[in-house]
Structure 1
Amino acid sequence: MAQRFTLDEIRTRTYKDRDAWWTVWLVDPLASRLVWLVAPVRWITPNLLTMCAFLLGFVAAYCFVQGDYPWLVAGAVVFHISFVLDCMDGKIARLKGTGSVFGAWLDYVFDRLRVVTCAVALMVGQYAKTDNVVYLWLAGVVVFLDMFRYLNALQMGKVKTDMRRNLEAARGEGPDRPVFVEETSEQQPLGPAGPVAGGPAEAAPVVDVYGEFRAKMGPLMRLRNALARQRIRAHLFSGIEFQMFIFILGPLTNQIIFFIVLSAVLLGGFELLLIYKLYSATKVYTRELAKIGASEADAQAAAVAAGAPAGDEDDDELSGQRISA
């Protein structure tokens, strides 16, 4: 048996600064205690937990495909247990420093396969029971939206990284090199944008690419600040809530179509808000380049010369971290 960590240590070292409200309220309290229980066991590794979560996803799918209400309840319970384990793998990795690139890939791929399998099983089971072809169409909707929001998040991350690299490279070295501010809890937890404490140059100019978005979304920013104090992110309906509504609330209430439609509308609305936020950031980025007399091509060339990847090469967004709640 290895060292046993305290619950306070687990919370401090594994809780994200901001997370989905479903995770904060309904998963972390249980997952942290289970991590306290299993962390000292050396053979319980993050990859093992990922595999167990994946296998439980298949158990949930088996329950869903049966179609009857008692099986739907069983499938919802098993799916939630699977999600708790999926959260635990990342916590164990952060707690022990045992995260790996392969583990991140495994976690990411297995998450997507679990969603596809459970979506198909749930809809096929309901189609077999009701002969309502709408369920088959909804299976496609669920799979499409889940894949879209993950691909959209990865591409948005790449665009933000490219903007930062290009702008900093175009500005060059020196005291006037900008501190590129993104709306992350580490750099800007609640207040207005400002120089990053402890950064390379406290007096350096700040490029706040989300300033215009915050100015236009004043009430939303006040809500964001209130939620951040509870460790809840303002993106209130993310992929986590999408899955939980469809695979837990829908089956438990036997209102599957209602919760799929509701989830699709809410997820679509919040994704559009993120896209608008990114669009606002790109406008600020373009103006900042114009201020220093650099074109997009010049900035890209400078970034490549500084060591950034050239062209449309895929960034390794998964490198060094697990994508789990």
Structure 2
Amino acid sequence: MPRVKVTLQEIRERTYKPVDAWWTVLLVDPLASRLVRLVAPYRWITPNILTLIASIFGFGAAACFAVGETWYLVAGGILFHISFVVDCMDGKIARLNGTGTMFGQWLDFVLDRVRVFFIALALFGGQFVRTDDVAWLWLMAVAIFLDLFRYLNGAQIAKVRRSMTDQVNAYKEPLRAAQAEAAAEMSEPSTEMPEPEPETAPANPSTPPKKSSLKNRIGATLRRNRIRTHLISGIEYEMFVFIVGPITGLVFPVTIIAGAGLLAFESFLIFKLLRACQRFPGRLEAARVAYEQHEAERAAAVTETQSAPATV
């Protein structure tokens, strides 16, 4: 017996990411959330089953791309989009029903990469067979390289940033715990009269509020709509190469443009990582000094308490 269906609002609250790719937010989530509502009550439909179904649609897209003719390209683009929708459903089902596993995460990632590889092989290889133009083979190599580079680069950037954060937090966490403990002690009821708070000068109404930059306003608008500012990531790149290009019949120019956009955004992320790495030694040293100062003050306080004369 299926369970009672959940509402769309509950699915949005429990399965939507705070920010996501604009393609996912605008063109996938509205459909995926409704399909999740249909299948969520059936607990036998697990995330791994949805991952396998997405792979079946993906290989169907590859078969259409291999033919290489106009309407087969359109059919392949549609099947690829369906494959991506189903692939997004597996994560939502996992979060909604609590059925996600570590093996499922591995399976989802590996099958995604395998599916994209064979779809690229079929799309560009099919065009090479039809035209006998070796440029399609070079484009295939570039397209596959960029897709792999994006996901390897993203994983390594996250790893490096996580390592820097962990090293800084190794000094900051004890300080935060000590500050929280001190704040808790100060919040306990006291018989002493509280000191009057100093009066603060009222804000000058004639001073205009500081205007945010256009970049900040655009970023805030995107985040309010759950769209991340990294506008061309691996998702958008794949969607343009395997959906927009085949459906419009402009596979070659769309792939070139999408690849250039992906490289531009990846270069920007690498530049930001470089700046963060350059600032990291100073951040780590500041955290270390603050921690050692706190430890010295605490040791001095303990010594003073122990040396103070006992009162009868």
TM-score bracket relative to the smaller structure: 0.7 to 0.9
2:251 pairs with 1:253? no
2:275 pairs with 1:280? yes
TM-score (norm 1): 0.76
Aligned mates of 2:78, 2:152 — CA distance in 1? 28
- List per-residue Cα deviations over 1:259-313 (Å, max 9, x = no partner): 110011000000011111112222232211233567xxxxxxxxxxxxxxxxxxx
2:230 pairs with 1:230? no
Offset of residue 4 of structure 1: 1.1
Q: How many residues are treated as equivalent by the alignment?
A: 261
SS at match of 1:3: coil
Aligned mates of 1:28, 1:200 — CA distance in 2? 43
Identity among equivalent positions (%) equals 51
Partner of 1:313: none
Amino acid at match of 1:168: N
- Point out where structure 1 has 5 or more consecutive residues left out of the alignment: 179-198, 203-216, 295-325
Partner of 1:209: none
Alignment of 1:62-81 (within 5 A): 62-81=63-82
2:117 pairs with 1:116? yes
- List per-residue Cα deviations over 1:192-237 (Å, max 9, x = no partner): xxxxxxx9999xxxxxxxxxxxxxx954333211100111000000
Partner of 2:299: none
Offset of residue 42 of structure 1: 1.9
Aligned mates of 1:250, 1:278 — CA distance in 2? 32
Partner of 1:53: 54
Among candidates 234, 253, 256, match of residue 239 of structure 1: 234
Aligned mates of 2:42, 2:87 — CA distance in 1? 17
Aligned mates of 2:138, 2:182 — CA distance in 1? 54
Alignment of 1:164-203 (within 5 A): 164-171=165-172, 173-175=174-176
Conserved? CA contact 2:171–2:288, under 8 Å: no
Offset of residue 163 of structure 1: 0.6
Conserved? CA contact 1:171–1:177, under 8 Å: no
Bigger Cα displacement from structure 2, 252-261 vs 219-228: 219-228
- List per-residue Cα deviations over 1:75-101 (Å, max 9, x = no partner): 001000000000000000010111110
SS at match of 2:122: helix
- Please state which structure has a larger fraction of its residues in helix: 2
TM-score (norm 2): 0.79
Amino acid at match of 2:51: T
Conserved? CA contact 1:156–1:278, under 8 Å: yes
Offset of residue 3 of structure 1: 2.8
Partner of 1:18: 19
Alignment of 1:19-168 (within 5 A): 19-168=20-169
Partner of 1:298: none
Offset of residue 41 of structure 1: 1.3
SS at match of 1:174: helix
Partner of 1:192: none
Aligned mates of 1:218, 1:238 — CA distance in 2? 24
Partner of 1:7: 8
User: 1:177/1:106 Cα in 2 relative to 1: closer, same or farther (>3 Å)?
Assistant: farther
Aligned mates of 2:25, 2:279 — CA distance in 1? 33
Aligned mates of 2:138, 2:57 — CA distance in 1? 25
Partner of 2:284: 289
Amino acid at match of 1:48: I
Partner of 2:188: none
Amino acid at match of 1:12: E
Offset of residue 166 of structure 1: 0.8
User: 1:5/1:176 Cα in 2 relative to 1: closer, same or farther (>3 Å)?
Assistant: closer
Amino acid at match of 2:233: S
Offset of residue 104 of structure 1: 0.2
Rg larger in structure: 2
Conserved? CA contact 1:73–1:252, under 8 Å: yes
